[in-house]
Amino acid sequence: MKRDDLVRTLSRLKGFETPVPSLEQVSTPPEAALDLFEAALARRDLDGRTVLDLGSGTGVLSIGASLLGAREVTGVEVDPRAVAVAEENARTAGAHVRFLVSDVSDVALVAETVVMNPPFGAQRRHADRPFWDRVAAIAPRALYAFALADSRTFIERWAVAQGVSIDLTRTVRWEFPRTFPHHRKVRVELPVDLWVLRRESTP
């Protein structure tokens, strides 16, 4: 699928119907998702791979991974209403994804590649920590994650503790329409990094 087609498809997906602030339900903006997918394609971490999307929300990352050739994609999401939207989005986009309603802490799944846009911990401090703990247990070949810039030290330490290498840290354009009452502006822009962490350098 071509870059423009993918952005168009992702832009058409339904968002959260009534986003829950405590769960930080903000869908990955299509351009930022594309940055993640381009990094993953260049590193051969999608095509033919098993992919797990932690906190899959309305399915942006799961659906993109499926459309770009992942062998098997599973999305895990605690909010059943978000899963209902994600399933509808996958059908509309022609993607094959299995969505599970579960807290990420409660799933014992493995995958070659993990993708995640977890809560950034802006509403509830450390809301992203169960996600990083789960990735440690899964120990995938590669992890693609979005995080706020102020999580850099935490992630660098996490990588050392897990014995994984940091392949990429790159600031992405992360802009979305006002979602929650505490958002003062019509468009919200956040300092977000894309991280690629890997366990081994060979494909």
Interface residues with ligand SAH (CB under 6 A)?
23-28, 55-58, 60-61, 76-79, 82, 103-104, 117-119, 130
Shortest Cβ 149–ligand SAH spacing (Å): 17
**Alpha-carbon separation of residue 149 from 62, 108, 120, 194 (angstroms):** 24, 29, 10, 9
Shortest Cβ 201–ligand SAH spacing (Å): 27
Q: Which is nearer to ligand SAH, 90 or 104 (CB)?
A: 104
**Alpha-carbon separation of residue 43 from 26, 37, 77, 106, 203 (angstroms):** 27, 10, 26, 29, 8
Shortest Cβ 51–ligand SAH spacing (Å): 12
CB of 100 closer than 8 Å to CB of 86: no
Residue nearest to ligand SAH (CB): 57
The first and second tokens of residue 38, run together, are 């381009």
Would the CA dihedral through 117, 128, 126, 129 be positive or negative? negative
Q: Which is nearer to ligand SAH, 137 or 160 (CB)?
A: 137
The angle subtended at Cα 59 by Cα 137 and Cα 98, nearest 5°, is 65
Q: Which is nearer to ligand SAH, 12 or 160 (CB)?
A: 12
Q: Which is nearer to ligand SAH, 6 or 104 (CB)?
A: 104
Shortest Cβ 43–ligand SAH spacing (Å): 19
